[in-house]
């Protein structure tokens, strides 16, 4: 398990848990980011926001937010 911020571009992961306050947790849930969701990392540079893909949507998240989202890599 690792933070979403540490996942390399092109990798697919499953969200394991979100470690944050209720406000951010609600916002992320509204965007479709909750336990068990599969996401693909489209862009993850050394600094700046991270772009992920959930189903047919692209979402841009700040690096601080992605440090609070714990994920597991999908093998295969």
CATH code for the domain in which residue 69 is found = 2.30.30.90
Task: Kindly list the distances between the CA atom of residue 74 and the CA atoms of 7, 11, 21, 48, in Å, as whole numbers in the listed order.
Answer: 11, 8, 27, 24
Q: Which domain holds residue 16?
A: 2-73
Report residue 74 CA to chain centroid gap.
13
Taking only the tens of pLDDT, the chain with its 76 residues reads 999 999 999 999 999 999 888 998 999 999 888 899 999 999 998 888 999 999 899 999 999 999 999 999 988 6
Number of domains in the chain: 1
The pTM for the full model equals 0.88
Cβ distance 42 to 52 under 8 Å? yes
d(CA 48, CA 55): 23
């Amino acid at each position: 398990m690792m933070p979403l911020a540490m996942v390399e571009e092109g990798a697919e992961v499953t969200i394991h848990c979100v470690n944050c306050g209720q406000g951010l947790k609600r916002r992320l849930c509204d965007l479709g980011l909750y336990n068990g969701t599969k996401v693909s990392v489209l862009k993850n540079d050394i600094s700046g926001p991270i772009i992920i893909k959930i189903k047919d949507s692209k979402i841009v998240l700040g690096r601080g937010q992605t440090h609070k989202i714990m994920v597991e890599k999908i093998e295969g």
